[in-house]
């Protein structure tokens, strides 16, 4: 079932990400449990706040062309208060670092931005 207002592509990415998460948690995977601890420690505010770290994660996600990562980071950054302009700047950094492949990968990040910031 498609989430209300979401593109089929984004809804499917979200569904698959949540399903994989549930399977890994349910499996009792010690590795995944440590990964979740790492995630929590990584995005905890210290010198950099959570929003800034999520914007960095957005850039890295575009450079490595990870669709689920882009979706999660853009959504989480927006939830942490990132603006469209801040997300675009994070994508611009990715484009500088990743070149043409990052330009192509950034299309999904923009789709997620459009989804999150529907006008």
Domain ranges of the chain: 8-116
Alpha helices in the chain (DSSP H): 8-27, 30-43, 50-64, 67-79, 84-116
**Mind listing the pLDDT tens digit of every residue in the chain (119 residues)?**
445 556 889 999 999 999 999 999 999 999 999 999 999 999 999 999 999 999 999 999 999 999 999 999 999 999 999 999 999 999 999 999 999 999 999 999 999 999 999 84
Contact predicate 105/65, CB 8 Å: yes
Per-residue pLDDT, 3: 55
Top CATH class, 8-116? mainly alpha
Looking at residue 7, its pLDDT comes to: 81
Supply the DSSP symbol for 82: -
Q: Which residues of 32-62 are buried (b: 16+ CB within 10 A; e: fewer)?
A: eeeeeeeeeeebeeeeeebbbbbbbbbbbbb
């Amino acid at each position: 079932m498609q989430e209300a207002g979401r593109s089929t592509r984004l809804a499917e990415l979200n569904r698959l990400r949540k399903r994989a998460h549930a399977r890994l948690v349910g499996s009792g995977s010690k590795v995944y449990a440590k990964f979740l601890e790492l995630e929590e420690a990584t995005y905890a505010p210290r010198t950099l706040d959570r929003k800034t770290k999520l914007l960095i994660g957005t850039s890295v996600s575009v450079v490595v062309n990870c669709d689920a990562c882009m979706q999660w980071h853009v959504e989480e950054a927006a939830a942490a208060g990132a603006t469209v302009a801040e997300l675009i700047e994070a994508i611009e950094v990715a484009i500088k670092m990743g070149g043409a492949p990052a330009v192509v990968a950034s299309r999904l990040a923009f789709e997620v931005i459009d989804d999150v910031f529907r006008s």
